[in-house]
A and B are shown apart, each in its own frame.
Chain A
């Protein structure tokens, strides 16, 4: 990228925008060229995937991997990718922009112990990739050559079936969805002065060859629409947010009722007009289901990622078997959750996506691992090696991370709270995984007074520490929901789609960053 980004070491989760404008600017697709029938569209895409396989067949992949390990190393892999992206912005009632993007390229990684060499080419051309292999191998200094195992095709098991992936929808259907949502949000209340809708989808073809003999090909579909209406009244100005999407079929958009989602965003903005100050300081807090899982993503998820565990710079390093949450808590990272933004048949180094129980009965049961860090820790990959694109190397990342369901009726969790805070809708968050200090924003919050939800308050952050906050869980609802239409996680300059989830949860104490003390 030509943009001068500051070097950040923080770990982020965004839910506001479905995609980062700089990174996922637009997504083109082929069907435009080849008629509208989805069958044709799929065939056209397969054709292009075939071109990738023609250039990078088993034979050429073998030769590239031989070159990669010529100076030695523990393993090497080749990662080729092409994406078709469509991005549509509807703002102020107009289709403001329509974008197609067609990024493609391939990279070679060479790895020895904790060392990684990575080089890529924007051209999927045999000679360019041989060069990339040589550049990547420079990280290994003068070892003797290692012979990779010849690759053979490995089959993948899809995490869930998709018969009519939503990105293959008719173009006109995408515009229609946006127009309907725009109209629904505007009609909700005259104080809605503007509505911004962003549609993004992609079809991602991936081809991986590994020096342990794997040759894997996969296709991944993702779609999302975000709706952000703005309400103005007097001097007060508020925005709301709702999202729909995931790794879903076309039929999803009939089932979820996009208009309802748009009205929900408008309701949020209107509710918050004239909201009073939020409380400041520690108090009992209840966090609503679904996207509220941003808490577990920040508090425990990042700290369990294998790179910082291996370096000993995470607060959870060496804590397997230790109590990290209240005894009733189970935390899961599930790379196969139906329609999850973080779901896949294989991760970006060819390991199958899997369900990993991170915390069982409040005790830390597993880390999230890629191949390299698993090897260094003497463990096995949990299928969490992900990368933003062929321009980056894989690092351990979350998929869909959630706190599992409990037994309580959500409403009963209010009982006995004299003065507290109810976070109905969350925003994004971030964590410093060395200290475990994390924060996440509340988009829609309310006072709790004498066991009842009362007045809405202005936005505020909630803060906590990884080793303390989850131990303060004192009630878990039976209403588990895993959000699969928003969530983009940033780490080390790499952004990947993720899901988060939880049921309604009550904490004995969390610090609220309001202004009323």
Chain B
């Protein structure tokens, strides 16, 4: 590593693989530098500094795949890895569709996924930001006396890629994040509220003022929460909860799951599976997007895919092999690290902004629930069932009433998606999977 450049290492490994009998070989090398600091009660509690370098090698030999990864980039180890990976491929079952992408991606437009200001962040800058965020949580209300901690992180990543057909490609990204977990107490009970933001560009990051305040408000809103009686009622997911929900149902749009009959949406392409108010996109080319990269984990150019068009299922997301098996191309959704095979994942996956304000959605509900957080894995994308622990606020006569916890929501995903009767205008990008607020016509609340 000290003497060879990433490109030289990869070329050497790939050429050796091809010479040793691999018809096709792909190398993916990642170099990541990151640091997170954590502050609690105004004191630095953790400084964690990372320097990662790792290489993944995928080969196809007679349409059989082998894969191996390592963080040990010494020449004799790499030589050994090539031999072992090729031998390994002999154990796999061949598949006609097993083939590396061979379309040379065109030059991509400026994606703005790298920021020198993030790369230049020093521990002192991060400590200052985390301190300020925690301080703002304390300043919000006397009932915030402690925090879980405040965290500020930075990461600089380089991806280097080659395969038999595409030659050398590379890109770099940055990310920075700030998060606070505030604890509110009313003397008897404590409740935690957290708020976080993550961005590619330092100037885009939420201010520590807004972040500290939001975390405090989320904690304070939970004080005095209690269950409500079981009922069927309209339920609104705020943008935070709706984002969690979207993340949980992502697997239903995963082409590999569809091929294995493991999605309740299998066989529904071209059908109306959701309310006409609902449009979902995966935007691989979103400027400054947290999931944006010029090409995916197997060298396929990133693109924007309309997944759900006004309620009609338009596309499943795929890699090159799963795309080929579905008789379509790759959607550029091969997500990976050097230590994992390319697998289907979201780029910037989101529900398109609607037109309804959250307060208007609330005002139209005579009796119902505003959900501000989902907990646990309550979504089964195979059977399409939904059963989830939630917390939030009760709605009475179109107004927010008492805080609620210790209840469940139940329903079937197919009915839930069709029953969405309002989509909010409050879409924010604090994660790469995100949604505006959503209102469901009726769900089952399991309470007292």
Contact = CB atoms under 8 A, between A and B. Distances in A.
Contact of A517 (B67, B232, B259): B232
Given A139-B44, A313-B192, A512-B446, A171 B91 contact: yes
A1 B155 CA distance: 10
B53 interface: yes
Given A4-B432, A513-B387, 4 more contacts: A99-B68, A101-B69, A278-B410, A461-B408
Interface in A52-104: 91-92, 94-104
Given A2-B159, A4-B198, A441-B378, A514 B84 contact: no
A174 to B, nearest CB: 9
A459 B376 contact: no
Interface string A298-327: 000000000010011101000000000000
Contacts of A7: 151, 177, 179, 194, 196, 198
Interface of B: 1, 30, 32, 40, 43-54, 65-72, 77, 80-81, 84-85, 87-89, 91-93, 95, 123, 146, 148, 151, 157, 159, 173, 175, 177, 179, 181, 183, 189-192, 194, 196, 198, 222, 227, 230-232, 247, 259-262, 264, 266, 290-291, 335, 337, 339-341, 343, 345, 375-378, 380, 382-385, 387-389, 391, 405-412, 431-433, 444-448
Nearest to A279: B446
A280 B46 contact: no
A465 B406 contact: yes
A459 B343 CA distance: 27
A75 B410 CA distance: 50
Contact of B383 (A1, A97, A434, A459): A459
A453 interface: no
B378 A100 contact: no
A418 B186 CA distance: 39
Contact of B387 (A105, A278, A428): A278
A439 interface: yes
Contacts of A440: 376
Contact of B1 (A123, A427, A430): A123
Contacts of B47: 116-118, 136, 138-139
Interface residues of A, number: 95
13 contacts: A9-B194, A32-B88, A33-B80, A100-B69, A114-B40, A119-B50, A237-B384, A238-B382, A280-B445, A432-B192, A437-B405, A460-B410, A461-B388
B48 A393 contact: yes
Given A115-B43, A118-B49, A517-B230, A313 B183 contact: yes
B190 A513 contact: no
Interface string A480-517: 00000000000000000000000000000001111111
Top 9 nearest A-B pairs (CB, nearest first) are: A513-B408, A280-B446, A94-B93, A25-B340, A439-B389, A434-B192, A439-B376, A515-B410, A122-B71
A286 interface: no
Contact of B46 (A2, A277, A393, A517): A393
Contacts of B431: 4, 6
A28 interface: yes
Contacts of A412: none
Given A28-B84, A100-B85, A461-B378, A512 B408 contact: yes
Interface string A257-273: 00000000000000010
Among A12, A171, A440, A515, find the residue whose CB has the most chain B CB atoms closer than 10 A.
Answer: A515
Contacts of A230: 260-262, 382
A96 to B, nearest CB: 7
A379 to B, nearest CB: 19
A51 to B, nearest CB: 10
Contacts of A434: 148, 183, 190-192
B45 A92 contact: no
A239 B382 contact: yes
A375 interface: no
Contacts of B40: 114, 311
Contacts of B383: 236-239, 272, 458-459
A112 B157 CA distance: 31
A408 interface: no
Given A25-B340, A311-B148, A393-B48, A92 B260 contact: yes
A7 B180 CA distance: 10
Contacts of A138: 47, 123
Nearest to A16: B377
A333 to B, nearest CB: 22
A183 interface: no
A187 to B, nearest CB: 18
Contacts of A516: 444
A282 B448 contact: yes
A193 B49 contact: no
Among A32, A96, A232, A282, find the residue whose CB has the most chain B CB atoms closer than 10 A.
Answer: A96
Interface in A438-478: 438-441, 458-461, 463, 465
Nearest to B293: A2
A428 B378 CA distance: 9
A429 interface: yes
Contact of A21 (B93, B247, B340, B407): B340
B65 A97 contact: yes
Given A21-B343, A98-B66, A122 B389 contact: no
Contacts of A441: 376-378, 387
A463 B408 contact: yes
Contacts of A411: none
A435 B391 CA distance: 12
Given A97-B341, A458-B385, A513 B378 contact: yes
B340 A22 contact: yes
A435 B410 contact: no
Contacts of A196: 260, 262
B67 A118 contact: no
Contact of A432 (B45, B49, B85, B375): B375
A4 B151 CA distance: 16
A2 B222 contact: no
Contacts of B446: 280-281, 511-514, 517
